[in-house]
Amino acid sequence: MALKLKWYGQACFLITADNGLKIVTDPYTPETSGYVPVQEEADIVIRSSDNDSFHCRADLIPGSPTVITALDLARSGGECVEQGIPIQAIEAMEALNHRYHDPDQNGMYRFTVDGVSIGHMGDVGNPLSAAQIAFFKDVDVLLALTGGHPVIELDDLKTVIDEAKPRLVVPMHFQTLSYKPRNALWIESFLSTFDPQDVDFALHYETSITPDMLPEQTRVLLLDYVK
């Protein structure tokens, strides 16, 4: 069995399980982000908070998905099972020195689909604590914020990757030709922190993942975004 991972842009992914169950992460507002609307109906939406229009727009996702807000989950026990999918969350904050507005709280989260554990960094903007790094320890796939301020800085992100040791890092939340705010780093800044031999290019916005396909040592997989 294989899950499918599709990047829509910003921090929004569509994960489709082998049985057809669909999970959307951190949906954005198309008009302000510049990315296309999510077209697929979803069964579950997991969002890092309920008050950030670049990360919270579950109301725009087709279908009648169950909505899990990671910050709320982190504050109410930290874990749940939704439609057979185990989900965990931990509290986080936007950059404490945020240049554009007062920082908001949000949640980082992880969940498992078809035997593959997936971690999502939400909208964290500060170095991770030991507990937050441990939360991502040995996750199979890390959906990693890579755009610099106001999200986590690249040297602090590299510390997370080096200590948590995800098997696959999928970059997100960086500047693209479609992203309207123009306040993020281009992907080259993130890629420069890795040996080029450890970076793969999907050349598409979707990839299939099975447990036996995952590398033993951390590699980066760069996806295109849906246009």
How do the pLDDT tens digits run along the chain, 227 residues long? 799 999 999 999 999 999 999 999 999 999 999 999 999 999 999 999 999 999 999 999 999 999 999 999 999 999 999 999 999 999 999 878 777 766 789 999 999 999 999 999 999 999 999 999 999 999 999 999 999 889 999 999 999 999 999 999 999 999 999 999 999 999 999 999 999 999 999 999 999 999 999 999 999 999 999 99
Sign of CA dihedral 59, 62, 63, 68: negative
What is the edge-to-edge ordering of all strands in the sheet holding 85-93?
Answer: 79-82, 85-93, 105-113, 116-120, 141-145, 168-172, 219-222, 199-201
Please give the Cα distance from 163 to 206 (Å, whole number).
27
Residue 63 token pair: 């279908």
Please give the Cα distance from 106 to 74 (Å, whole number).
9
| pLDDT tens digits along 120-143 | 999 999 999 999 999 999 999 999
What pLDDT does 18 receive?
97
Please give the Cα distance from 184 to 174 (Å, whole number).
5
| pLDDT tens digits along 16-54 | 999 999 999 999 999 999 999 999 999 999 999 999 999
Please give the Cα distance from 112 to 144 (Å, whole number).
16
Q: Are 38 and 134 in contact (CB under 8 A)?
A: no
What pLDDT does 98 receive?
76
Please give the Cα distance from 21 to 43 (Å, whole number).
6
Q: What's the chain's length in residues?
A: 227
Residue 155 token pair: 């040297």
Listed residue (4, 2, 6) closest to 224, CA to CA: 6
Residue 196 token pair: 């080029």
- Strand, helix or coil for residue 29: coil
Q: Which domains does the chain have, with CATH numbers?
A: 3-222 (3.60.15.10)
